[in-house]
Amino acid sequence: MVFIGEYIGTIEEFIPEYGTYVEDGKIYAAVMGDLKQNNEKKIVFNMKLPRLTVGSIVLAEITDVRNNSATAKIIKFLGYRQNVFVSAGIFVSQISDEYADKVSSFLGVGDIVKARIVRNEKNLIDLSTKGNLGVVKAFCKVCRHELILNKEKIGSKTLICPNCKKGETRKMADDYGAVKDVF
């Protein structure tokens, strides 16, 4: 049994597989579980990622924005280094505690959101960005540069593109720009 962050060995000794991550040539456990050595070198974990249960907080990338909903790809459980790739949806009514009329005023394609799973039935997963959740990383819709908080407008919750100076709005998380470990 190994725990998250526990040192397993070097990449010379093993081939890191599912459930591990590598830093400076050293392999660590990304998840908790039983260590398995497949053949001479490969190591994997005899376990699954934490389940996509209702209430879990995840990081997801927005893949499409429509009038009443957005599609997203869940890429990570918050606090876990291992990536996951699961499709999900966000309905306009689940974006904000305030009334949201159209999704494009709150989310953009390519944005990374911190969201809560609010439904998981038959592999249909719905996310919510209500409360202090929301976009943690956003990109300019014109030039794709990463957007930064518009500090000239204190409390305005608007973003600005440092490249083309275009202002944009998002449903931002409280910690916009502060979630470093996205990929």
Q: Does 67 bind Zn ion (CB under 5 A)?
A: no
Q: What is the largest distance, in Å, between two alpha-carbon atoms of the chain?
A: 59
- The CA distance from 100 to 171, in Å, is 10
- Can you tell me which residue has the tokens 């995840």? 58
CA dist 109 to 33, 104, 141, 159, 170, Å? 35, 9, 8, 15, 11
Q: Does 148 bind Zn ion (CB under 5 A)?
A: no
Q: Does 113 bind Zn ion (CB under 5 A)?
A: no
- Select from 24-32, 88-96, 117-125, 156-164 the region that touches Zn ion (CB under 5 A): 156-164
Which SS3 state, helix, strand or coil, does residue 133 take? Answer: coil
Q: Does 162 bind Zn ion (CB under 5 A)?
A: no
- The size of the interface with Zn ion (CB under 5 A), counted in residues, is 7
Q: Does 142 bind Zn ion (CB under 5 A)?
A: yes
Q: Does 78 bind Zn ion (CB under 5 A)?
A: no
**Interface with Zn ion (CB under 5 A):** 140, 142-143, 145, 161, 163-164
